[in-house]
Amino acid sequence: MWIFLNNAYLSIVRHRERPDHLLVRARNHGDIEATFPDAIVKITPHADYLFRAVIHEPLVAAVIKHAILNIDYDNFKNSIIDHRYHNACMETWVVMNDYQREGTYQRDRKHHAKKKN
């Protein structure tokens, strides 16, 4: 699961050996700590994500729930303070916007147009 918070980007997957824990990964130094201050973060230079922490699943769920319940903005992109992260999120937004335009919506429009003819 990819999670874009306004101060951190995280990738969260099931831990392979500890089923009651999740592996929280980040590409940017400090993102895990910003979200999970007590996490023990390891640097993994040969892995796809440079920063990783093993965190008990209920804690991850509680922290993410808290983040959702405390959203105080009406525009996610404008809530991002870090300029470099903002640019990365904007690029992601553009890619996903293109994905939307070229995906299901277009197929549905073509399908409905055929039905009308």
* Structural domain spans, the chain: 1-72, 74-117
Distance CA 111, CA 34 (A): 46
Going from the C-alpha of 5 to that of each of 19, 34, 63, 109, the distances in angstroms are 25, 10, 11, 33
Question: What average pLDDT does this structure show over 60-64?
Answer: 98
Is the pLDDT assigned to residue 117 strictly greater than 60? Answer: no
Residue pair 56/63 in contact (Cβ under 8 Å)? The answer is no
Question: What average pLDDT does this structure show over 88-101?
Answer: 94
Going by their DSSP bridges, the two strands 8-14 and 51-56 should be labelled as: unpaired
Question: What average pLDDT does this structure show over 3-23?
Answer: 97
Buried b (16+ CB within 10 A) or exposed e, 12-43: beeeeeeeebbbbbbebeebbbebbeebebee
Structure tokens at 12: 């969260």
Using 50, 70 and 90 to split pLDDT, how confident is the model at 30? very high
**pTM of the predicted model as reported, rounded to 2 decimal places:** 0.84
13 bridge partner residues: 23
DSSP state of 103: T
Using left for φ > 0, alpha for ψ between -120 and 50, and beta otherwise, residue 30 falls in left
Question: What average pLDDT does this structure show over 97-115?
Answer: 72
